[in-house]
Amino acid sequence: MTPPKSFRDVTKVTTHVLQEMKIKGEKIAMLTAYDYSFARILDSTGIDVILVGDSASNVMAGHTSTLPITLNEMIYHGSSVVRAVKRALVVVDLPFGTYQGNSKEALNSAIRIMKEAGADAVKLEGGREILESVDRILSAGIPVMGHLGLTPQSIHKFGTYVVRATSEEEASKLLEDAHLLEKAGCFAIVLEKIPARLGGIVTSALKIPIIGIGAGKEVDGQVLVLHDMLGITLEFSPRFLRRYHNLSEEIRGAVNTYIDDVKTLDFPNEKEQY
């Protein structure tokens, strides 16, 4: 069998493909999606990984944190995305309160995500504290992506969204947690809002792919929240966010034109009626 010319030619991205990408030095591009229509557009672009993030709690439901979203709601978003995607690896977040305290509950939650949403993998926030849950999920054959640094599900413990792991002590705990997750068998780790230097250190210390969001460029890939990078949500402006579009402006423009057309009887015209 001849190998694909570039990873863009692979017909289905798997955890093994991501590992190969790290080895070959090809960066991994990951974005969030929460519904069928956006997921379909993303998958047609050649995006490597689609994350059904619990940021759906903010972006789709308007909550001020990721904590309120439920497992049933994540399954709804996950299954909508999975129905649209042929190529990208689809990772679904386990929501707050479904895996932290009890590894049996964690496994049940992960099984529901795999069975009912049809995900390729699950993502959990945390290091040593959740290792038992990670082990149990992995032992059932479910691929796990870790998430360290700024972990939004613990916002009430930290009280702020400032950059994490700026002290020596916090940085070495993060590195230790990353090693623990790799040893347990996680296939990749997301690092959120940490110093770029630390992002580089973790990336060269670990064999599995490291995907950053505000973790600098020395990582193996990048992830952003789709609605933030498209400029649909405008309230959230951390330094790491690059806005690739101002879609809210375009949508407002189109809707205003529609309103004018309706009010001035320009819409519908002769060709737009039966």
Query: Are 74 and 93 contacting, i.e. CB atoms less than 8 angstroms apart?
Result: yes
Nearest to 190 by CA among 218, 216, 223: 223
Structure tokens at 111: 């099984």
What is the closest distance, in whole angstroms, from the C-beta atom of residue 59 to ligand KIV in the complex? 8
| Catalytic member of 125, 129, 168, 192 | 192
21 vs 188 by CB, closer to ligand KIV: 188
**3-class DSSP state of 147:** strand
Cβ atoms of 178 and 215 within 8 Å: the answer is no
Least Cβ distance, residue 226 to ligand KIV (angstroms):
9
Count of residues of this chain found to bind ligand KIV when the rule CB under 6 A is applied? 10
190 binds ligand KIV (CB under 6 A): yes
Say whether residue 228 binds ligand KIV (CB under 6 A).
no
209 binds ligand KIV (CB under 6 A): no
E strand segments, 154-209: 188-192
Helix (H), strand (E) at residue 41: helix 36-45
The minimum distance between CB 269 and ligand KIV, in angstroms, equals 43
Task: Judge whether 74 and 56 are in contact, CB under 8 Å.
Answer: yes
Smallest separation (angstroms) from ligand KIV to the CB of 16: 22
Quickly tell me which residue has 């992506």 as its tokens.
145
Q: Rule CB under 6 A: which of 29-88 touch ligand KIV?
A: 32, 51, 53-55
Nearer to ligand KIV, 223 or 230 (CB): 223
Rg (CA), the chain: 20
Least Cβ distance, residue 104 to ligand KIV (angstroms): 24
Backbone angles phi, psi at 243, to 5 degrees: -90, 120
CB of 273 to ligand KIV, least distance (A): 43
Using rule CB under 6 A, residue 233 touches ligand KIV: no
Comparing every residue's Cβ against ligand KIV, the nearest one is 53
Residue 93 is a binding residue for ligand KIV (CB under 6 A): yes
153 binds ligand KIV (CB under 6 A): no
Judged by CB, which is closer to ligand KIV: 32, or 203? 32
Whole-number Å distance between alpha carbons of 105 and 121: 17
Decide: is 89 part of the binding site for ligand KIV (CB under 6 A).
Answer: no
Q: Please, which residue, 75 or 213, has the CB nearer to ligand KIV?
A: 213
- Interaction between residue 213 and ligand KIV (CB under 6 A): yes
Long-range contacts of the stretch 180-186 (C-beta < 8 A, 24+): 180/127, 180/128, 180/131, 181/127, 181/131, 181/134, 181/146, 181/148, 182/206, 182/207, 182/208, 184/131, 184/134, 184/135, 184/138, 184/144, 185/134, 185/138, 185/144, 186/134, 186/138, 186/144, 186/145, 186/146
Residue 192 known to be catalytic: yes
Is residue 225 near ligand KIV by the rule CB under 6 A?
Answer: yes
User: Between β-strands 144-149 and 188-192, what pairing exists: parallel, antiparallel or unpaired?
Assistant: parallel
Under the rule (CB under 6 A), what is the footprint of ligand KIV?
32, 51, 53-55, 93, 190, 213, 223, 225
Active-site positions read: 192
